[in-house]
Amino acid sequence: MKSEPPFKHLIHSIAELREVAGEPGELAKNKVITYLDQNCVEYINHSPFLVLSTVNQFGECDASPRGDQPGFVHVLDSARLIIPERKGNRRMDSIQNILLQPSVGLLFMIPGTGETLRVNGTAYITRDPEHLEKMTVQGKTPLLGIGVEVKECFLHCAKAFKRSNLWDPEHWPETEHLPSAAKMMAAHANMQGVTEESVGRNLKESYTKRLY
């Protein structure tokens, strides 16, 4: 028996989508370039944070944050960049996805700047010491590098940031009532002996002693 979809009034085709949303303007249609020009390089060199989107062989998606000091992503030339893969919890979700299906999307952000830079391309996992050693921080060399061959890049407008007031502290929501990260992780893991307190201690240690 075919199950009912979880939502109603669904869009099923590009034609239906265009009927609702209309066609993009000329600037939007022509803003995409296929290489990193000097403007893109400058943006990446000033960005301390990006979101890396990947997909596995089943089409299941994942989005993962990456952050460090501005310039932590190394631009090799107009067609290639490398993101350091530093020590974490060893799940390696993004890396595994890339090994199975290498298409990636990157969203670069600069605090206080509403426009973001989107870069799409094909990813490779590299252990090339020539590149990894240049990304050494506090004496620690990245385990791996995520090399990206650029296929598309373009600037995304600031409307989302303006609507959310993301960079404006006066509009930040109160967070005192929110469950702590330790409480959420302990609840989600649901393992015997794993408590909010024990997860909290582990997080604190990892943030202070195992950033690199």
Write down the domain spans for the chain: 24-164, 173-209
pLDDT for the residue 50: 98
pLDDT for the residue 88: 87
pLDDT for the residue 91: 94
pLDDT for the residue 188: 97
What is the rounded CA–CA span in Å between residue 157 and residue 36?
18
- Say which amino acid occupies 47: S
Taking alpha carbons only, the member of 5, 163, 172, 151 closest to residue 80 is 151
pTM as predicted:
0.94
Alpha carbon 89 to chain centroid distance?
A: 17
pLDDT for the residue 112: 96
Cβ burial of 98 (10 Å; 0-12, 13-18, 19+) is buried
pLDDT for the residue 3: 85
Task: State which residues of the chain have pLDDT below 50.
Answer: none
Query: CB neighbours of 137 closer than 8 A, spacing ≥ 6?
Result: 68, 69, 86, 212
pLDDT for the residue 22: 96
What architecture (CATH level 2) is domain 24-164?
A: Roll (2.30)
Query: Which bin fits 90, alpha (ψ -120 to 50), beta or left (φ > 0)?
Result: left
Q: Are 133 and 141 in contact (CB under 8 A)?
A: yes
pLDDT for the residue 40: 98
pLDDT for the residue 11: 96
